[in-house]
C-alpha cells in the first residue's frame, strides 16, 4: 500500500502496519547472532505449526506470548534465536489431496506460504533464515538417518502386536488418535488388529525419562510433569514363580503386593495371551474358552473401557501351586488382566484388590483376609481393603506391617529362587509405522537372503514416490505398496532383488528433534552439528499448547537422551523451561465451525489491527489460562494503544535530553514500571506487565495535562520507556511512537532502559499500626526505619496510646517499614 498518511487525529493502525513492514523486512532485526556474537545466547522456541490453513486465533495467542518472551530477551541484550518452521507431514494434507485429487505437496506448500505471510503481518519476531519444513526431503533425510542409527542400536525393531485399527479409515491409529474408544476423525469404534509394525524402544528409557524430571521441577508446569509421570507409570513390586500342575514350566506373575501372597485364592491369566490358549488347549474347557476369546476380541474399546463392566472369565480347570504354602489355586482366564503388562498373569488376592474381589464374587471364589486393617471384612462388604495393618493368616509374616512384610517375603522368595523384586511400566514402546503416503518413508529394504537391511547413508534421502497415479485412499495397506517401481529394488548388501518397506513414519518422529535442526538448518552433511547445538541448545524457553504435554514432549525427551548416548549431544533434557498457553475459546467452549462460534483471526485483525489483537491476547489473563474471546475487549486495547501513541506526539523535549533533571515523581513511576514489568515478564505474568504499562501511561498523561508539563525530561523518559515496553506486545504502535519521539527504527533493538535503584525507593512509606490484627492507625515513616524504631513510634502515637489506655502489650510484632501489630 502506498497511501499517504491521512490527516489522522486518531491513530491509524492500518496505515502504520503497512508503513513499517517493508522497513522491518530491510532491517531484519531478528536475525539471531552468528559465531562472533558476544552477547549471551537465549533460544526461545514456539511449537511449530501444522499448515492446515491460515493462522487462527489459537496461533495468534501462542505467537503473541512467545513473541513477548523473545522480544523481551532481545531488549535485555541477549543474542536470541527465535526460529520457526512447519510440521508439514500428516493426514490432513493427505485427505485434502484425496478430495482434490492432487498431490499433497500442493496443498501443504500453499498453506505454508499463507501462514508465513500471515506471520510476517502479525509481526512475529522470527529468524526467517532458519525456516524448514519437515516434508522437505532435505529434512526427512535426517529422519531416515536417525531411524537407521536407532535400528543399529536395537532401538528400532519390528514386532507383531495387536494395534488400534479403524475399520472406517482402514488404517492403524496411534493411541492418541483413539478418543474414548472412537476414531477421532470418523467416530467409528476402534478395534484391534494383529500387525507387524515398527517400534522405537522408548521403554528402555523409562527410568531416565522419569528420574531426569528432577531437573525440570519448577521449570515446567507441575501439571505436565505429573502427566508424564502418570503416563510412564512406574510401579514397584515383585515377580513370583508359581508351579503349574501338569506343566513343566512354571508361570511367573507380577504383583505390587507380595505381602498378600498368603491371601491369593486363585490365579488369572490374560485371555488373549498365548499362555491362556495353551492352558485351555486339549481340555474340556477348550470350546468354552475359544468362544470367550471370540467374544472379547469382538468387543470394541468402548465396551472394554466401560467402568461398571461386569467381570467375566473362564475356569481353565487347571491349578497353580502357591509357592509359600503349597495351596492349589484354580486358574482362570479373563480379559481384566492385560496380556502386555507385567507377565500377563496375576495372583488374585480378592480381600485386598477390588478387581479380584469383584471377580471372586462373580465366580463364587473364596476370599481370605491377610491384612487386618480394622475395616469391615471384604468378603461381606464387597470392598477390598488397601490400607496398612497387621499381617494375619500369613505364616512367617504374621504380625508384620505392610512394608516389613513386603521386604521379608521378597527376601524369602529370592533366597528360594521363587521370586524377585521387579518394576513395571505403563509406558509401551512407540509404534512408528503408518500405512500412509504423506510421511517419511521407512529406510529399510526387505531381502529374502539378508533380512531387513538399512538403506545406506549415501542413498539418503529415500524420497517418496510421485503421488501421481497412486491411490491415496486408506485401504489397510500403505499407498506406497502400489508404487511398484519404487518398491522393487536391490538389496544394498547382496544386490539381489528386494522390496522396500512401504510404511511411513509417525509424524511425531519429525517433531521429536526439529529443535536441534534450527541452528544447523542449512547443514547438508549432518542433521545438526555438534558445534551448533553446543552453542544454542538446550532450548531456554519452549512455548506451546498443553495438548502436547505427554506425547511430543516425551518423545523429544526420549530422542534427546538417545542422541546424548550416541554422543551427538552434551545434554540430556531438551527444554529447560516450558510455558503452556491456554486455548482461545468463545463463550466457554472451544471454537468450531459446527458450533457456530468460530472467530476468524483475519476479521479481528481487519477490525482492530494486529497490535490490539496481540495486546488483547496477552492482557486477557495469565498465559496458561484459556482466553474467552467474549470476555476480552479488542476495542479497549485499541483505545489504550491510541492513548499511549498520543503521548509520543505530546512530548516537546528533544531526544537525548538529560532525564536526571526531570520530575522526580514521574521518574520514580517510570523506573518502578520498568522494574515491575521486567519481573512480571520473567515470571510469565504478562497481563501484569501490561497493567504496569497502563499505569505509567495514565501517570504520564496526568503529568502532561496537569503536572510537570510536556517539556519536562521525565515525560520523555516515561514515553520512551512505554514505547520500549510496548514493543514486546504492540510492535507497530511502539515503532510509530519511537519515530515520533525522534528515534530511528527499530525500537525492538532499542535496549531495555537501565533501572536506577535509587528511584525505586520511596522517601516515605505508610506503615500500618494494628492492635490484635485490626488496623488502628497509619503513620508515615522512612523506608529504612528499623523494627525497634517503628515499634517505638507506633507505641508513642497518641491514637495508639489512647487505645492501649495504659495496658501493657503481651507482644509487639514489628515488620519495618510496613506494619506493627500490638497484641494485648
Partner RNA sequence: GCCCUCGUAGCCCAAUGGCAGAGGCAGAGGACUUAAAAUCCUCCAAGUGUGGGUUCGACCCCCACCGAGGGCACCA
Interface of this chain with RNA, residues 540 to 559, rule: CB under 7 A:
550
Segment 319 to 348, residues that bind RNA, using CB under 7 A: 335-338, 341-342, 344, 346
| Chain centre distance of CA 256 | 30
Is the alpha carbon torsion for 207, 208, 214, 217 positive or negative?
negative
3-state secondary structure (DSSP) of residue 272: coil
Q: How far apart are CA 802 and CA 804, in angstroms?
A: 5
CB of 445 to RNA, least distance (A): 35
600 touches RNA by CB under 7 A: no
Q: Which three cell numbers stand for residue 610?
A: 494486529
Could you tell me if 732 and 20 are in contact, meaning their C-beta atoms sit under 8 angstroms apart? yes
597 touches RNA by CB under 7 A: no
Nearer to RNA, 52 or 235 (CB): 235
CB of 534 to RNA, least distance (A): 35
Contact with RNA (CB under 7 A): which of 476, 545, 621, 745? 621
759 touches RNA by CB under 7 A: no
237 touches RNA by CB under 7 A: yes
Q: How far apart are CA 41 and CA 753, in angstroms?
A: 20
Rounded to 10 deg, the angle between the 137-152 and 551-566 helix axes is: 70
Buried b (16+ CB within 10 A) or exposed e, 734-753: bbbbbbbbebebbbbebebb
How many angstroms separate the Cα of 767 from the Cα of each of 63, 672, 802, 821?
Answer: 43, 20, 19, 11
How many angstroms separate the Cα of 228 from the Cα of each of 220, 490, 546?
Answer: 11, 43, 12
Nearer to RNA, 76 or 355 (CB): 355
Contact with RNA (CB under 7 A): which of 32, 424, 440, 653? 424
Segment 601 to 620, residues that bind RNA, using CB under 7 A: 619-620
Nearer to RNA, 28 or 376 (CB): 376
User: What element of type H or E holds 617?
Assistant: helix 610-619
632 touches RNA by CB under 7 A: yes
Nearer to RNA, 95 or 580 (CB): 580
762 touches RNA by CB under 7 A: no
Q: Which residues neighbour 293 within 8 Å (Cβ) at sequence distance 6 or greater?
A: 271, 272, 276, 277
Omega before residue 817 within 30° of 0, cis: yes
Segment 43 to 82, residues that bind RNA, using CB under 7 A: none
Nearer to RNA, 59 or 352 (CB): 352
Nearer to RNA, 390 or 550 (CB): 550
Q: Which three cell numbers stand for residue 75?
A: 531488549
382 touches RNA by CB under 7 A: no
- Which of these segments, 29-37, 89-97, 510-518, 811-819, binds RNA (CB under 7 A)? 811-819
| Chain centre distance of CA 278 | 43
Q: Which residues neighbour 415 within 8 Å (Cβ) at sequence distance 6 or greater?
A: none
766 touches RNA by CB under 7 A: yes
633 touches RNA by CB under 7 A: yes
Nearest CA among 706, 709, 716, 722 for reference residue 643: 722
Could you tell me if 235 and 370 are in contact, meaning their C-beta atoms sit under 8 angstroms apart? no
Nearest CA among 134, 261, 169 for reference residue 473: 169
Nearer to RNA, 125 or 424 (CB): 424
Nearer to RNA, 142 or 254 (CB): 254
Compute how many other C-beta atoms are within 10 angstroms of the C-beta atom of residue 281.
12
516 touches RNA by CB under 7 A: no
- Which of these segments, 55-63, 563-571, 631-639, 713-721, binds RNA (CB under 7 A)? 631-639
Contact with RNA (CB under 7 A): which of 138, 375, 452, 631? 631
635 touches RNA by CB under 7 A: yes
Segment 696 to 755, residues that bind RNA, using CB under 7 A: 698, 701-702, 705
CB of 643 to RNA, least distance (A): 4
Compute how many other C-beta atoms are within 10 angstroms of the C-beta atom of residue 194.
10
Is the alpha carbon torsion for 775, 777, 778, 779 positive or negative?
negative
474 touches RNA by CB under 7 A: no
Segment 299 to 318, residues that bind RNA, using CB under 7 A: 304-305, 307, 309, 311
190 DSSP 8-state letter: P
Q: How far apart are CA 792 and CA 69, in angstroms?
A: 47
Segment 216 to 235, residues that bind RNA, using CB under 7 A: 222-223, 226-227, 230-231, 233, 235
287 touches RNA by CB under 7 A: no
CB of 756 to RNA, least distance (A): 21
811 touches RNA by CB under 7 A: yes
Nearer to RNA, 157 or 341 (CB): 341
CB of 751 to RNA, least distance (A): 25
CB of 615 to RNA, least distance (A): 10
CB of 436 to RNA, least distance (A): 23
Nearest CA among 518, 732, 566, 519 for reference residue 644: 732
Nearer to RNA, 667 or 692 (CB): 692
| Phi, psi (rounded to 5 degrees) for 443 | -85, 55
- Which of these segments, 491-499, 603-611, 662-670, 681-689, binds RNA (CB under 7 A)? 681-689
Segment 163 to 182, residues that bind RNA, using CB under 7 A: none
What size, in residues, is the chain?
A: 824
Q: How far apart are CA 206 and CA 585, in angstroms?
A: 36
- Which of these segments, 51-59, 105-113, 438-446, 768-776, binds RNA (CB under 7 A)? 768-776
Contact with RNA (CB under 7 A): which of 42, 257, 318, 776? 257
- Residues that contact RNA, how many (by CB under 7 A): 78
Nearer to RNA, 30 or 684 (CB): 684
3-state secondary structure (DSSP) of residue 367: coil
Q: How far apart are CA 300 and CA 294, in angstroms?
A: 12
274 touches RNA by CB under 7 A: no
Amino acid at each position: 500500500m502506498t497511501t499517504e498518511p491521512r490527516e489522522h487525529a486518531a491513530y491509524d493502525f492500518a496505515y502504520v502496519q503497512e508503513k513499517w513492514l517493508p522497513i522491518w523486512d530491510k532491517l531484519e532485526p531478528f536475525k539471531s547472532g552468528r559465531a562472533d556474537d558476544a552477547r549471551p545466547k537465549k533460544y526461545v522456541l514456539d511449537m511449530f505449526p501444522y499448515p492446515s490453513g491460515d493462522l487462527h486465533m489459537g496461533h495468534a495467542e501462542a505467537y503473541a506470548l512467545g513473541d513477548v518472551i523473545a522480544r523481551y530477551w532481545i531488549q535485555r541484550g541477549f543474542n536470541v534465536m527465535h526460529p520457526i518452521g512447519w510440521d508439514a507431514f500428516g493426514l490432513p494434507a493427505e485427505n485434502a489431496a484425496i478430495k482434490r485429487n492432487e498431490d499433497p505437496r500442493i496443498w501443504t506448500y500453499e498453506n505454508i506460504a499463507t501462514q508465513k505471510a500471515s506471520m510476517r503481518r502479525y509481526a512475529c519476531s522470527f529468524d526467517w533464515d532458519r525456516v524448514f519444513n519437515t516434508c522437505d526431503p532435505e529434512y526427512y533425510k535426517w529422519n531416515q538417518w536417525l531411524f537407521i542409527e536407532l535400528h543399529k542400536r536395537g532401538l528400532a525393531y519390528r514386532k507383531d502386536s495387536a494395534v488400534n485399527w479403524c475399520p472406517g479409515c482402514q488404517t492403524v491409529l496411534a493411541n492418541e488418535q483413539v478418543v474414548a474408544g472412537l476414531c477421532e476423525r470418523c467416530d467409528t469404534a476402534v478395534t484391534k488388529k494383529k500387525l507387524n509394525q515398527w517400534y522405537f524402544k522408548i521403554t528402555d528409557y523409562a527410568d531416565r525419562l522419569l528420574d531426569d524430571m528432577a531437573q525440570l521441577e519448577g521449570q515446567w508446569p507441575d501439571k505436565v510433569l505429573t502427566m508424564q509421570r502418570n503416563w510412564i507409570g512406574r510401579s514397584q513390586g515383585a515377580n513370583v514363580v508359581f508351579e503349574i500342575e501338569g506343566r513343566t514350566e512354571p508361570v511367573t506373575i507380577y504383583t505390587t503386593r507380595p505381602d498378600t501372597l498368603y491371601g491369593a485364592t486363585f490365579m488369572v491369566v490374560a485371555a488373549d495371551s498365548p499362555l491362556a490358549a495353551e492352558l485351555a488347549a486339549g481340555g474340556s474347557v477348550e470350546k468354552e474358552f475359544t468362544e470367550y476369546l471370540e467374544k472379547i476380541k469382538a468387543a470394541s474399546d468402548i465396551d472394554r473401557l466401560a467402568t461398571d463392566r461386569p467381570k467375566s472369565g473362564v475356569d481353565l480347570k487347571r491349578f497353580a501351586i502357591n509357592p509359600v504354602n503349597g495351596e492349589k489355586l484354580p486358574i482362570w482366564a479373563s480379559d481384566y488382566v492385560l496380556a502386555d503388562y507385567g507377565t500377563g498373569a496375576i495372583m488374585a488376592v480378592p480381600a485386598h484388590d477390588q478387581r479380584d474381589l469383584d471377580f471372586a464374587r462373580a465366580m463364587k471364589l473364596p476370599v481370605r483376609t491377610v491384612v487386618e486393617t480394622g475395616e469391615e471384612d471384604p468378603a461381606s462388604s464387597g470392598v477390598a481393603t488397601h490400607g496398612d495393618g497387621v499381617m494375619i493368616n500369613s505364616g512367617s509374616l504374621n504380625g508384620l506391617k505392610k512394608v516389613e512384610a513386603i521386604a521379608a517375603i521378597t527376601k524369602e522368595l529370592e533366597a528360594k529362587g521363587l521370586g524377585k523384586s521387579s518394576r513395571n511400566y505403563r509406558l509401551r514402546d512407540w509404534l512408528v509405522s503408518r500405512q500412509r503416503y504423506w510421511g517419511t518413508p521407512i529406510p529399510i529394504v526387505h531381502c529374502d537372503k539378508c533380512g531387513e537391511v538399512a538403506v545406506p547413508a549415501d542413498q539418503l534421502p529415500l524420497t517418496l514416490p510421485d503421488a501421481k497415479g497412486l491411490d491415496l485412499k486408506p485401504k489397510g495397506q500403505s499407498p506406497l505398496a502400489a508404487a511398484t517401481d519404487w518398491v522393487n529394488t536391490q538389496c544394498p548388501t547382496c544386490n539381489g532383488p528386494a522390496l522396500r518397506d512401504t510404511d511411513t513414519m509417525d509424524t511425531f518422529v519429525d517433531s521429536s528433534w526439529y529443535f536441534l535442526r534450527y541452528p544447523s538448518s542449512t547443514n547438508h552433511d549432518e542433521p545438526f552439528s555438534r558445534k551448533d547445538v553446543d552453542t544454542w541448545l538446550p532450548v531456554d524457553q519452549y512455548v506451546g499448547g498443553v495438548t502436547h504435554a505427554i506425547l511430543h514432549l516425551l518423545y523429544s525427551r526420549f530422542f534427546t537422551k538417545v542422541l546424548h548416548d550416541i554422543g551427538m549431544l552434551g545434554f540430556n533434557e531438551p527444554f529447560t523451561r516450558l510455558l503452556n498457553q491456554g486455548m482461545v475459546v468463545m463463550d466457554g467452549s472451544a471454537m468450531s465451525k459446527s458450533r457456530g462460534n468460530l472467530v476468524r483471526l483475519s476479521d479481528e485483525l481487519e477490525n482492530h489491527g494486529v497490535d490490539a489483537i496481540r495486546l488483547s491476547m496477552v492482557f486477557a489473563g495469565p498465559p496458561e489460562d484459556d482466553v474467552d474471546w467474549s470476555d476480552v475487549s479488542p476495542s479497549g486495547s485499541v483505545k489504550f494503544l491510541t492513548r499511549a501513541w498520543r503521548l509520543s506526539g505530546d512530548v516537546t523535549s528533544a531526544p537525548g535530553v538529560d532525564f536526571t533533571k526531570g520530575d522526580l515523581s514521574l521518574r520514580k513511576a517510570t523506573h518502578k514500571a520498568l522494574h515491575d514489568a521486567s519481573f512480571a515478564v520473567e515470571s510469565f505474568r504478562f497481563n501484569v506487565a501490561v497493567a504496569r504499562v497502563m499505569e505509567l501511561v495514565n501517570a504520564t498523561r496526568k503529568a502532561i495535562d496537569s503536572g510537570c508539563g510536556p517539556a519536562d525530561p521525565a515525560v520523555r523518559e516515561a514515553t520512551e520507556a512505554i514505547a520500549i515496553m510496548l514493543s514486546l506486545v504492540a510492535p507497530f504502535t511502539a515503532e510509530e511512537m519511537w519515530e515520533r519521539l525522534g528515534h530511528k527504527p527499530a525500537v525492538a533493538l532499542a535496549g531495555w532502559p537501565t533501572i536506577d535503584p535509587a528511584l525505586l525507593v520511596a522517601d516515605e512509606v505508610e506503615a500500618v499500626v494494628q492492635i490484635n490484627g485490626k488496623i488502628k492507625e497509619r503513620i508515615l515513616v522512612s523506608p529504612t526505619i528499623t523494627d525497634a524504631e517503628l515499634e517505638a513510634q507506633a507505641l508513642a502515637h497518641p491514637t495508639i496510646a489512647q487505645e492501649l489506655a495504659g495496658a501493657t502489650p503481651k507482644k509487639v510484632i514489628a515488620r519495618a517499614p510496613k506494619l506493627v501489630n500490638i497484641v494485648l
